[in-house]
Structure 1
Amino acid sequence: MNRTMITATNTLSQLQKQMDLISHNLANVDTAGYKRRDASFTDLLVQEYRNQPNNTLEPQNRMTPFNIRQGTGARLGQVQLVLAQGSLKSTGRNLDTAFTAEGQFYRVMVRNEDGSSAMRLTRNGALYLTPLSDNESMLVNSDGHAILDENSQPITISGNVKNFSINETGSFSAEMYDGTSQNVNLGVVLVEKPQFLEQKGDNLLGLPDNLAELGVDETDILTALNGQQRNRISIQQGVLEQSNVDMSKEMTDLINVQRSYQFHSKSITLADQMLGLVNGIR
């Protein structure tokens, strides 16, 4: 296989990953609270052929380095989570909320198949009450996962609820028919380093399992907005945040990726034809 085939083949697999990423963004264009991901490329290993007899000479007006450098393709360098604010859509529903500041997320408790639990993050502010018994309910998200309070505990409400209110600092209040009320602070975190978050499915984000290997701690990535920090929380009730996916941009990127994919596929075809001509020389 000649160098043209190697370079094109290496790049094709990475372009496929970018195409999958763009397709995932487009599929979630109407998902509340979804944050898009953008990809960037870097060069693979570059090989250098030393064809200069003396590299110590500095010819005037030389704009390129000595010797011949030949690349081996490109790879997906980084997939960046974009936390830009999405547009707000009014719903008029008391349990619909939206963050109006970038980087803030609800904490959600997810039960795994093996019975263990894990903390996840979401910007989807569509909240619901699911009954636990005849007189007790739990606050959950649209997928039924428990919303956590500032102490990382599930939020339960006892009694018959008449009305709900959620203020801009994340204080949840349930008013009962008997005139009493129950108040709790929603668990909110501020993401400082979004590049460490991983998609965990169901529009949820989570921390990687190999934090120790990466040399970072959870506190380096997340800041719990508790105590006096709660004044930084910015929540609006009765609205939902739409995804920050720009369909026109994603479609343009998809077309560019498809053109690049076709170009590298054509390079392999041409290289194969040239090898056929060489092998046919007698």
Structure 2
Amino acid sequence: MNTSMMTASVTMGQLQKKMDTIAHNMANTNTTGFKRREATFSDLLFQQVNNQTVPSMETGRLTPNGIRVGAGAKIGQTSLRTEQGSIQQTDRPLDLAIQNPSHFFQVEVSNNGESEVRYTRDGAFYFSQNPNNPDVLNVVTGQGHQLLGPNGPITVPADHSEVQIDENGRISVILRDGTTAPAGQVELVRVQRPQILEQIGENLFGLPDNLIEQGYVPADILGVIGAEQASLKQGALEMSNVDIGKEMSEMLLAQRSYQFNARSISTADQMMGLVNSIR
């Protein structure tokens, strides 16, 4: 196959993956707590073609000897960008916005009958009836996953009239008789290596199954923070950190690159046609 065709076709396939990443970011512009991803490219292997067989002819040459013929480019990394999103006031008691970009909520997810801990920045929580105790309510995500504290899933008395959550994550409720009672603590984790986290859907992150093979242990990635280090805002939500203007610019650049490589294939095909038509 013509080298230029092969190089262009390989690069086009990788550009399509970048377009998919951009499309995913744009589709989640209004997703609470969503963190965008950014694709970067790196060169594939290249071949050094030394077509000059007379060394004396290269005297005074300033550029590298020979010709470097590349094999295109590939996605080098799709990095998770954890910059803080804008805070939107909602005045809803169970909406919580994390004000530190490296902190995450912990939620309990049931997977094939086993409970696993997952991590999210989505602070929209709700009350759900506890099936084992009608006198208490579970605090859950929109998908029904329970919010975790230092002692497990957080629950509050069902007969409360108001919920208050301070900036350190301490939860207190005002009961219907007017008394105030503590109801738990939101426990956050600090993500020290966000690029190791794995997106598993529903705006959740988890640790990869091959973490040990990568040379890490969970303590290298996550660290539980104390209540005094937490910074929450009740009645507000962190919005997506996607900049729609930036994503549109990246999409246009990717489309232009794709078009350029497609033109390379077309030009190479025309050249091969001219050669084949020579009699």
2:80 is matched with 81
Taking every aligned residue pair, what percent have the same amino acid on both sides? 46
Give distance in 2, aligned partners of 1:169 and 1:156. Answer: 17
8 A contact 1:129–1:138 mirrored in 2: yes
Q: Does 1:259 align with 2:256?
A: yes
Structure-2 change in CA distance of 1:28 and 1:66 (3 Å): same
**Cα RMSD after superposing both structures:** 1.9
Offset at 1:145? 0.8
Give distance in 1, aligned partners of 2:193 and 2:53. Answer: 48
Give distance in 2, aligned partners of 1:272 and 1:51. Answer: 24
Query: Does 269-278 or 96-105 show the bigger shift?
Result: 269-278
Give distance in 1, aligned partners of 2:175 and 2:89. Answer: 25
In structure 1, the residue corresponding to 2:201 is in which secondary structure? coil
How many residues get paired? 274
Question: Aligned runs of 1:201-280 on 2, under 5 Å?
Answer: 201-225=201-225, 229-280=226-277
CA offset digits 1:180-238 (Å, max 9, x no partner): 5233111200111111111111111111111011111111111111xxx3322111111
Structure-2 change in CA distance of 1:54 and 1:195 (3 Å): farther
Give distance in 2, aligned partners of 1:2 and 1:148. Answer: 58
Give distance in 2, aligned partners of 1:65 and 1:173. Answer: 71
8 A contact 2:106–2:188 mirrored in 1: yes
Runs of 4+ aligned residues of structure 1 deviating over 6 Å after TM superposition are 58-61
Where does structure 1 lack aligned partners over 5 or more consecutive residues? Answer: none
Give distance in 2, aligned partners of 1:240 and 1:104. Answer: 14
Give distance in 1, aligned partners of 2:199 and 2:97. Answer: 20
Question: Aligned runs of 1:1-282 on 2, under 5 Å?
Answer: 1-51=1-51, 62=62, 64-112=63-111, 114-133=112-131, 134-151=134-151, 153-178=152-177, 179=179, 181-225=181-225, 229-282=226-279
In structure 2, the residue corresponding to 1:30 is in which secondary structure? coil
TM-score (norm 2): 0.92
Give distance in 2, aligned partners of 1:23 and 1:109. Answer: 29
8 A contact 1:139–1:156 mirrored in 2: yes
CA offset digits 1:92-125 (Å, max 9, x no partner): 111111011111100011122x222221111111
Offset at 1:150? 2.2
Structure-2 change in CA distance of 1:54 and 1:154 (3 Å): farther
8 A contact 2:156–2:183 mirrored in 1: no
TM-score (norm 1): 0.91
Give distance in 1, aligned partners of 2:222 and 2:158. Answer: 34
8 A contact 1:150–1:188 mirrored in 2: no
Offset at 1:52? 5.5
